[in-house]
Structure 1
Amino acid sequence: MSLISVLRTGVSGMNAQSSRISTVAENIQNAGTTGYKRTGTEFSSLILDSSSTGDYNSGAVETVIRRSVSAQGPVSFTTSKTDLAIQGNGFFVVRDSNNATSLTRSGNFVEDGPTGNLVNSGGFTLMGYAVGENGEATPALNSTANMVPVNVSTLGMRATATKAATISGNLPADAAPLAAPLSDKVYTKKTSMVTYDQLGNKVTLDIVLGKTATANQWQAQVYIPGNDTALATVTLGFDANGQISDPAAVTAAVSRLAAANGTSINLDMSKITQLAGSYDLTGTADGKAPSAVTGSDFASDGSVYALYEDGSRALAFKVPLANVASPDNLEPRAGNIYLPTSTSGDLQIGFAGLSGLGSIKSSALEQSNVDVSSELTAMIESQSVYTANSKVFMTGNELLETLMNLKR
C-alpha cells in the first residue's frame, strides 16, 4: 500500500464533500427563487487495481452533479395576473436582449415599461404566437422561428363595427294603411337604433314602418338621418296568427350602408308580430365604440386575452410550452434558464394540456423544489465526512513522517 495514495484518497474525499457543500449552499440561497430546481451531488467510487492480493492501493471518489429539473415545486398564488406557473411538464420559451432562445420555469412576468413586453425577474421576455384574424395561432413545428414577444399593449384601442341588428316587438293589427308611399317623411311608426362603423363612430339608423293596402302587410325602410335615400326596403307579411309568414324573406342585408360607414349589417326583422294592441318595437345592434386595452388575462391552455375598458376581451396570443425527453440533463444558465443539450434531447413545442404538457396557472408561481431541512441535514453529514477525511489525510501524513524518520 502506498502512503501517498492514502493522502490522495483523503484529499479526494475532502474535495467530494466540498462539492456537496457547494451544491447545498446554492440550494439554500435559492430556496426562495421562483422556479429554481435543486442541484444534488452524487458519489461514485474509483477503484485502483492492486498489484497483488496482499497490497491494496486506495482509490478515490468521483462526484456527479444532478439537477432535479423535472421535479415539480409547490405552487403559490399571487395577486398578479401575469404571474404564471406550469402545473406539470413543460417550460416557458423566453428570449434575452440578444434574441437568444432559452427555457425557464420562472414565471414571475411583469410588463416592461419601455417595450410593454412581459419580462421575468431574470430579464427574459416571454414568447408566444400571435393570433390571426381567424382566431388561430400558426406555430412552426417544433420551432421557435415565428414566435413573438407577448405584448398586449401593442394592440392599442379597438373598435367593433356593427354586423348584426335585430328589430322585434309588435305592430298594431288595427293600424290604418298609408295613403301615400312609405318614406322617411311618410310612415305609420318609427324606431331608431345606434350602430358603429369600423372606426367606432356612432351611426344612428331610423327604421320607418307603414301598413300597406294589402291585408296583413307592412313595409319597412332603413335610413340614416339626414339622408332621404332608403338604405333598404323590406316587405313584412303576417299570417292569421300575427306571425311573420316568411321569416327568411324579411331578413335584409343592408349592403348600401357600406357607403356610409364602411360595413354591411344584417338586419333581422323576423321577430316582429302583428297583434291587437299598441305599437311596441325595439331595436338592438352589436358593435362597440373605441375601447383601450386595460390588461391581459391568461387561460390554462396558454391563450392570452387582451382586456378592454368596455369589459370585452379579445384573443391576442397563444403561449406555447416546450419540453425535452430528459429535462434533468438540460444545461442551466444564469437567470434560472436552461438550454437543450445532446443528452437532454431535442426541443418539442406544443400547447398546454396537449401531448403530455402541463397546464398554465395565472396569478400563481412555482416555488423552488428545495427542502431546506434536507439541505441542512446534508450539510451536517458533509461536515462530518469532510472532518473524517481530513483525519485520514493527517494520519497518512504522520505515517509518512515516521517512515522518513527511519533514516535518521
Structure 2
Amino acid sequence: MSLYGALRTSVSGMNAQSNKLGTISENIANSSTTGYKKASTEFSSLIVQSGASEYNSGSVNTDIKYSVSQQGTTKNTTSNTDLMVQGDGFFVVQDASGSTMLTRAGSFTVDASTGNLVNSAGYTVMGYDISGGQDPSVVVNGTGGLVPINLQNVALAAVPTTSGTFKANLPSSDTVVAAANLPSANAATATYSQKSSISTYDNLGNEVILDVYFTKTADATVGPPATSSTWEMTMYNQADAASSTAPFPYTSAAVSTTAMTFDTSGQIASGTSVTFTVPNGQSVTLDTSKMTSLNTTYSPEAPMNGSPPSAASDVKVSKDGTVYAVDGNGNTTNLFKIPLANVASPDNLTPVAGNAYQVNLDSGPLQIGFAGDAGFGTVVSNALENSNVDMASELTDMIVAQRDYTANSKVFQTGTELLDVLMNLKR
C-alpha cells in the first residue's frame, strides 16, 4: 500500500465532503427563495490500477446535480403578478444584455422606470403582444416574436355597444294610435303609448341616448276569429330631438322601426329581435323576446353592453398565461400572452445568478408553448412556488458529511504518523 496514495485519497475524500457541505449550505441559505431548486452532490470513485501484491488507492470525484424538475409547494399571495407554473415549464426572461434565460421564480413586479414586468433579479418577463386582437405567432423552437411585457400607462379603449335586451310589459289597455300620428311618421302631431330612453356607446366611447317609443296600432280581439294586438317600436337619437318637451319632429330619421305582435295571451309572437346601428357606432342586436302585452303597468328593463374609455383599474393573468387589463366597469382587454418554455432534461440546465437557468447541450433544445398545451403545466396567479429544499434532510446530510469529513481527516492523520515512523527509522 502506498502511504502517499492513502494521503491523496483522504484529501480527495475531504474535498468531496467539502463540496457536499457547500451544496447543503447553499440549500439551507435558499430554503425560503422562491422557485429555488436544491443542489445535491453525487459521488463517483476514480480507480487507480493496482498490482497483484500492492494496492494503490484511488480517489473520489463529485458531480453537482440540481433537482430542477421537482415541484415546490405552493405559497398563496395577494399580488396578481405573482405567478407560478403548476406542472412542467418555465417562464422566459431576459437580462439587460438580451440573453434569454428560464426561471420558475415568478415573483414579478412592474419596474418603475421602464414599466416592464421583472422578477427580483431584474430579469424582464417575455411574452407575445396580443393587444391588437391578433393570435400570437409562436416560434416553437426559439424566442422569435417575444417582447417585454410592459404594463406602463395601460389604458383601455372604448367598448362600443353591440348587444342588449329590452324587457317590458306594454299595457293592453293603452289606446290605439292612428297611422298618421305614429312616431315613425316623425310629425309634430306624433303620439305614443309608452316611452323610455336607453344609453348606448359609439366607436369613440361617446354616450348616445336613444329615445324608444312603443305605440299601439291595433287591439286584440277575442273573435271569432281571434286577432293579435300590434305595436310599433320606434327609436330616435335623442340628440336630434327638437326639444326635451316636444321632441317631434326629430331632425334625423328614426334609428329603427319594428312592428311587434302579441297573441291573445299577451305573449310576443313576432318582433322578438331588433337590429339597429348606433349613430357613429356598431350594429346592435336587441333581444325583445321577453316583451309582453298584459293588463298591467309599463315596467321596462334594458341592460346594454358597451362603455366609455377608461384607465385600467387592475391587471390580471389567466391560467393560460393571458395578461389582461380590467377597467372600472369590469370590461377586460387582452394585452399579452405569457408562453412557457421547456427542455427534454430540465435537471441538466445550467444555473445562473438570479435563480434562472440557461439551455445547454445536455438539457436539450428549447421548446416554446402555452400553458395547458401538451407537455406544459398551467399558470397560477396570486401564487408562488416555494423552494423544494427539505430542511430536515439537509440537516441530516450535514451531520453525515461532517462525520465523513472527520473520518477522512483521521486517515490523513494516520498516514502522516506512519510517514513519521518511516522517517525515524533513519535516525
Common fold by TM > 0.5: yes
Amino acid of the residue matched to residue 111 of structure 1?
A: V
Q: Tell me how far apart the structure 1 counterparts of residues 405 and 132 of structure 2 sit (CA, whole Å).
A: 64
Q: 1:263 to 1:335 in 2, by over 3 A?
A: same
Unaligned runs of at least 5 residues, structure 1: none
Q: Secondary structure at the match of 1:261?
A: coil
Q: Report matched runs for 1:262-281 at 5 Å.
A: 262-269=281-288, 271-281=290-300
Q: Tell me how far apart the structure 2 counterparts of residues 184 and 31 of structure 1 sit (CA, whole Å).
A: 81
Q: Decide which of 346, 350, 365 is 1:331's aligned counterpart.
A: 350
Q: Decide which of 261, 271, 290 is 1:238's aligned counterpart.
A: 261
Q: Percent identity?
A: 49
Match of 1:348 in 2: 367
Structure 1 position 17, deviation (Å): 1.3
1:67 matched to 2:80? The reply is no
Structure 1 position 67, deviation (Å): 1.0
- Farther-moved stretch of structure 1 (165-174 vs 221-230): 165-174
1:223 matched to 2:236? The reply is yes
Match of 2:10 in 1: 10
Residues 182-234 of structure 1: CA distance to partner in whole angstroms, max 9, x if unpaired? 31741313321111122222111112344447984443332222422124342
1:183 matched to 2:186? The reply is yes
Residues 227-284 of structure 1: CA distance to partner in whole angstroms, max 9, x if unpaired? 2212434241425434444337x62333xx4xx4343333444544444444444444
Q: Secondary structure at the match of 1:288?
A: coil
Match of 1:398 in 2: 417
Q: Secondary structure at the match of 1:13?
A: helix
Match of 1:34 in 2: 34
Q: Secondary structure at the match of 1:361?
A: strand
Structure 1 position 356, deviation (Å): 3.1
Unaligned runs of at least 5 residues, structure 2: 221-228, 241-250
- Farther-moved stretch of structure 1 (212-221 vs 335-344): 212-221
Q: Tell me how far apart the structure 1 counterparts of residues 401 and 218 of structure 2 sit (CA, whole Å).
A: 103
Q: 1:210 to 1:62 in 2, by over 3 A?
A: same
| Structure 1 or 2: more strand by fraction | 1
Amino acid of the residue matched to residue 205 of structure 1?
A: L
Q: Secondary structure at the match of 1:40?
A: strand
Q: Is the 8 A contact 1:194 1:205 kept in 2?
A: yes
Structure 1 position 131, deviation (Å): 2.6
Match of 1:298 in 2: 317
Q: Tell me how far apart the structure 1 counterparts of residues 395 and 300 of structure 2 sit (CA, whole Å).
A: 77
Residues 348-383 of structure 1: CA distance to partner in whole angstroms, max 9, x if unpaired? 222223313222222222111112222222222222
Q: Tell me how far apart the structure 2 counterparts of residues 187 and 165 of structure 1 sit (CA, whole Å).
A: 26
Match of 1:122 in 2: 121
Amino acid of the residue matched to residue 207 of structure 1?
A: V
Q: Decide which of 201, 205, 217 is 2:206's aligned counterpart.
A: 201
Match of 1:315 in 2: 334
Match of 2:88 in 1: 89
Q: 1:311 to 1:283 in 2, by over 3 A?
A: closer
- Farther-moved stretch of structure 1 (311-320 vs 116-125): 311-320
Q: Tell me how far apart the structure 2 counterparts of residues 209 and 199 of structure 1 sit (CA, whole Å).
A: 29
Structure 1 position 31, deviation (Å): 1.2
Question: How large is the RMSD of aligned CA atoms in angstroms?
Answer: 2.6
Q: Secondary structure at the match of 1:297?
A: strand
Structure 1 position 40, deviation (Å): 0.8
Q: Is the 8 A contact 2:45 2:58 kept in 1?
A: yes
Amino acid of the residue matched to residue 202 of structure 1?
A: E
Q: 1:314 to 1:406 in 2, by over 3 A?
A: same
Amino acid of the residue matched to residue 164 of structure 1?
A: S
Q: 1:175 to 1:397 in 2, by over 3 A?
A: same
- Farther-moved stretch of structure 1 (127-136 vs 11-20): 127-136
1:360 matched to 2:359? The reply is no
Residues 170-189 of structure 1: CA distance to partner in whole angstroms, max 9, x if unpaired? 33444232343531741313
